[in-house]
């Protein structure tokens, strides 16, 4: 019933219109699971490598190689294994690839197979995936961070910060918090449209207007929260994904490690191009975040500094770690 019978894969298009891989896992009990693999617009330099084909087809982004690896190597290796033993499945996949960054078979091929197996096992057990993975105690949904305004790599506009998010922290039910986020989202659209701002959306569905500054984006969110009838700070907080590795000032980037001589590393510098500000230090950004914390109900800052700015992260944590949740994405991949 839980024995893996077949694993197949195909190329599909993702929400950005780029190719990605979709994997199906069939079990001998007649049930199966399906998984489609996402990819990011801004990624850390140490992230596991998604395998792309190169060449002219789909501007080099095709995934036929990853699909072939699933069909020719991953599927045959996992055939006959118990889908319930997810830890062993994942160990086998990592060993089969054999590289630190999953570059031989591709992280997209490995992740697709792993998740398809997990979904097949959950289906065979008669459980939703969250209960299969989390157990009987998995009964509470986390507070969502709702991405409503985009900049940076997620939009073609003058805003530097990649994501501005609503955090419905003052509600006892997930559905109530989600409803508040939807109402604020549509209210934000009304405000932007009334003031002649573009209401086209960015990569992840948030509005992507041209604004004078990143702080102006926060002001728009505050106005939308209040106009929608909610209380900033008490019912709705704000969160940022700065994606600061994308803001590193090119003129001040560190040398690659393989070319670096024995000398003190250069201080990482940042640019807020939309505001015409360059040569900013990590201390400058930390001070800017501190100003925003004083003025807005910010509860979370993701990737506030670049992934290679170890000294800056130490300073950021010391200065603001007790005031706001600091999240590392590119930092920890």
Domain residue extents for the chain:
4-134, 146-327
pLDDT (tens, 9 = 90+) of the chain, 333 residues, equals 899 999 999 999 998 899 999 999 999 989 999 999 988 766 666 778 899 999 999 999 999 999 999 999 999 999 999 999 999 999 999 999 999 999 999 999 999 999 999 999 999 999 999 999 999 888 888 899 999 999 887 667 789 999 999 999 999 999 999 999 999 999 999 999 999 998 988 888 899 999 999 999 999 999 999 999 999 999 999 999 999 999 998 734 444 444 444 445 678 999 998 888 999 999 999 999 999 999 999 999 999 999 999 999 999 999 999 999 999 987 887
For residues 207 and 195, the answer to whether their CB atoms sit within 8 Å is: no
Output DSSP code: residue 72. Answer: I
List of residues 6+ apart from 104 with CB closer than 8 A = 97, 98
Q: How far apart are CA 301 and CA 324, in angstroms?
A: 7
Question: What distances in angstroms separate CA 135 from CA 125, 131, 140, one per listed residue?
Answer: 12, 5, 12
* 144 CB-contact burial (10 Å; exposed 0-12 / middle 13-18 / buried 19+): middle
pLDDT of 42: 61
pLDDT of 1: 82
- The region that residue 173 occupies, defined by phi over 0 for left and psi between -120 and 50 for alpha, beta otherwise, is beta
pLDDT of 156: 72
pLDDT of 255: 44
Q: How far apart are CA 177 and CA 143, in angstroms?
A: 8
pLDDT of 199: 93
Long-range Cβ contacts of 226-232 (<8 Å, 24+ apart) = 227/187, 227/191, 228/180, 228/183, 228/184, 228/187, 229/183, 230/180, 230/183, 230/184, 231/170, 232/296, 232/297
Domain 146-327 belongs to what topology? TIM Barrel (3.20.20)
Architecture of domain 4-134: 2-Layer Sandwich (3.30)
pLDDT of 259: 43
């Amino acid at each position: 019933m839980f024995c893996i019978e077949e694993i197949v894969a195909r190329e599909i298009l993702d929400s950005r219109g780029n190719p990605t891989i979709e994997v199906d896992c069939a079990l001998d009990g007649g049930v199966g699971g399906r998984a489609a693999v996402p990819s990011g617009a801004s990624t850390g330099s140490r992230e596991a490598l998604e395998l792309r084909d190169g060449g002219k087809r789909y501007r080099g982004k095709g995934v036929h190689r990853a699909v072939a690896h699933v069909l020719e190597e991953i599927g045959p290796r996992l055939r006959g294994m118990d889908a319930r033993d997810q830890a062993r499945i994942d160990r086998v996949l990592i060993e089969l690839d054999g590289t630190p960054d999953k570059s031989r078979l591709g992280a997209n091929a490995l992740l697709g197979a792993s998740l398809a197996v997990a979904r097949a096992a959950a289906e065979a057990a008669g459980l939703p995936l969250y209960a299969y993975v989390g157990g009987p105690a998995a009964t509470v949904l986390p507070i969502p961070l709702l991405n409503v305004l985009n900049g940076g790599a997620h939009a073609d506009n003058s805003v530097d910060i990649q994501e501005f998010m609503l955090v419905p922290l003052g509600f006892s039910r997930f559905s109530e918090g989600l409803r508040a986020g939807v109402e604020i989202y549509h209210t934000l659209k009304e405000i932007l449209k009334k003031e002649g701002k573009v209401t086209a959306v960015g990569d992840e569905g948030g509005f992507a207007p041209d604004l004078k500054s990143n702080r102006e984006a926060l002001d728009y969110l505050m106005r939308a929260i209040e106009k929608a009838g909610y209380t900033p700070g008490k019912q709705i907080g704000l969160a940022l994904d700065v994606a600061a590795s994308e803001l590193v000032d090119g003129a001040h980037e560190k040398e690659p490690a393989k070319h670096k001589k024995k000398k003190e590393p250069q201080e990482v510098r940042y640019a807020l191009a939309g505001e015409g500000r360059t040569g900013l230090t990590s201390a400058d950004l930390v001070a800017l975040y501190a100003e925003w914390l004083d003025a807005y109900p910010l509860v979370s800052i993701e990737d506030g500094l670049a992934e290679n700015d170890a000294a800056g992260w130490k300073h950021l944590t010391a200065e603001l770690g007790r005031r706001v949740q600091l999240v590392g994405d590119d930092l920890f991949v």
